[in-house]
Chains A and B, each alone.
Chain A
Amino acid sequence: MREPHPLLAVDDLSIDMTVARGTVRILDGVSFSLASGETLGVVGESGSGKTMTALAIMRLLPQPSARLGAESRILFSGKNVLKLDERAMRRLRGREISMIFQDPMTALNPLFTVGEQIAETVRWHEGGTRAAAQARAVDMLRAVRIPHPERAVRSYPHQFSGGMRQRATIAIALACRPKILIADEPTTALDVTVQAQIFDLLEDIQEETGTAIILISHNLSTIARLTRRIMVLYGGRKVEEGPTREIIRNPRHPYTEALLRCVPGLRSEAEHDAELPEIPGTVPAPEELGGGCPFAPRCSHAAARCRSTMPPAAALGEKHKVACWLHEAAQSAVT
């Protein structure tokens, strides 16, 4: 399904970060697109560049330490977001693209009621009366299934539990009916039963409103449930991308493969009794990356070439792409 403009197209996104020891490239040439109404899963370990990708789309990268690569482009409905001035960007944030964060305990302003926080967002984007915005706040709280929404609008965040707070941040994020919702590890700070509820909620909201969702997580099994398409990041690079089913059944990049072996629920019956494997080594710090494949130091298939040269993306089938020398044969097919 190809539209003239995908809703969001991220093209060759690179981010350089100034750290104490100099400048490191924390995200290198990541490209992906998102169609309206779609859910894209972004998987990767801590430090793989997931959150930075999200913040780059929102243009909220830490300043002045992070800089975008010159060739980076982020197209929202065909317009380059990176070229917009701050005013236009503010109109985009919250209204066209919203974001929810990992820790709902800190994402709400403790001094204002939940209702005020929703109503304010509505009023500064859409205007309208205080009463209308307040009514919208009640509707939003009902939509995210907070019990007794009429009473909950007058509650302060500290009166909410973690799960309810995350529901409230989702309510704020969706109050202006954005086209894209970026959910950056929305359930990491919550306990398991609440996690499932939040995912159910996101799934329902997607069905009802058609909001496209970028779901960021380090947990493949949660992502597998909710998405049709997955992008795997490792060390600031996109190592594999494709339909969720295909990647779960037939991962082609050694990293994805290793990651899948570590998820108990996704393994085959035969493997079930065996000890859960782990990936040897740790994620390299960005400054330790050379020119080669970032996974090479931990990869069991690594050859000399892997350490010196980054493999280009190879297309396996129509939508499945992988950046690994093991699939060199398919590389000629890539443009």
Chain B
Amino acid sequence: MAELAVGRERKPGSGFSQGLRRFAENRAALAGLIVLLLIALMGFIGPLVYPVNPFAIVATPMAPPGDGAPLGADYLGRDVLAGILAGARVSLFIGISATFCTAIIGTVTGSIAGYYGGKADTILMRITEFFQVLPPLLLSMVLVTLFSPSVLTVILSIGLVNWIGTARIVRAEFLRIKGEGYVLAERAMGAKNGRIIFRVILPSALPSLIVVTTLQIGIAILFAAALSFLGLTDPNVMTWGLMIGQSRPFIWQTWWAVTFPGIAIFMTVLSVSLIGDGLNEALNPRLRPR
């Protein structure tokens, strides 16, 4: 009984729920989360509230904000607000899907390299370094051009060039956790490798994985914007990057057609980064009070 009382000094609940509580106390992260939710809401409900085809010519070409279109029209007379609403959904979809790819590739590579070590580690890390020295934007441009631009190829190409960071962090986490006493204890109880990887080490590595993955979403959205700015995108899908790219020659005449999509990109990436940093502070075991 006395021992139990000593044990109760700690706050109840798992490390994860404590982490969520710390996240909720972080104002910047919370603001980021709210802005991101608003952008997502805008992307999914916006087109219903404001049903304008982003490709349709609905206003006078180069109409300034308020004159026929709330945020103005571009050089063809297409509604900028409609484009931003349509682009929100696409940007988030590409960002999250591409990040999903990076998380899968990175986790598999990092786990195998970190857990098995030795030759597997050497080979996988050399491959990782090969991708690391290639300029990622250039590589994904090459990949998209090679397989003809579409939403799918954009997602895969971004996923394929951005997994290095995830792989390195997962590997480092595996190396750290592999040495923990409970991993040896589990093995002494007859656990097999698969069990140790999936049930013991990966759950412990999850906080770091969540943080790096969240930050990756912002990078993926920027990549998608850069690719579509360069025209390497499906021309039938409206994206923020495409809007900026197409209106770029008219930047002095229609600043609104470039600035508003730019603000949209900025706000999205900023809010994702704030969430990522907030998660890092809340979940990173190295920053966690003991």
Contacts and interface: CB of A to CB of B under 8 A. Distances in A.
Contacts of A60: 184, 187-188
A15 B203 CA distance: 34
B189 A173 contact: yes
Contacts of A92: 190
B4 A93 contact: no
A160 interface: yes
Given A90-B190, A147-B1, A109 B7 contact: no
Interface in B1-33: 1, 3-4, 6-8, 10, 12, 14-15
A108 B118 CA distance: 27
Interface in A90-142: 90-95, 98-101, 103, 105-111, 120-121, 124-125
Given A94-B190, A111-B203, A156-B14, A101 B184 contact: yes
Nearest to B290: A158
A253 B18 CA distance: 56
A164 interface: yes
B37 interface: no
B34 interface: no
A98 B189 CA distance: 6
Contact of B190 (A103, A124, A148): A124
A147 B3 contact: yes
Nearest to A152: B4
A106 B4 contact: no
Contact of A64 (B10, B118, B181, B199): B118
A159 interface: yes
B182 A121 contact: no
Contacts of B186: 109
Contact of B189 (A64, A93, A105, A163): A93
Nearest to B200: A109
Given A155-B7, A161-B3, A164-B4, A111 B190 contact: no
Contacts, number: 83
Interface string B174-212: 000000111011111111100100011001100000000
Which of B3, B7, B189 counts the most chain A CB atoms within 10 A?
B189
A124 B15 contact: no
A19 B8 CA distance: 43
Given A106-B181, A109-B182, A164-B4, 6 more contacts: A91-B190, A93-B189, A101-B185, A106-B180, A120-B199, A161-B6
Contacts of B14: 111, 156
A64 B187 CA distance: 16
B189 A158 contact: no
A159 B204 contact: no
A163 B6 CA distance: 11
A164 B5 CA distance: 11
A103 B189 contact: no
B7 A159 contact: yes
Contacts of A39: none
B191 A124 contact: yes
Contacts of A163: 3
A172 B189 contact: yes
A310 to B, nearest CB: 32
A58 interface: yes
A169 interface: yes
Interface string A74-98: 0000000000000000111111001
Given A60-B184, A156-B14, A148 B189 contact: no
A108 B1 CA distance: 21
Contacts of B199: 120
Which of B182, B190, B203 counts the most chain A CB atoms within 10 A?
B190
Interface in A165-221: 169, 172-173
Given A60-B187, A147-B1, A173-B189, A111 B204 contact: yes
Given A107-B181, A107-B182, A155-B7, A93 B15 contact: no
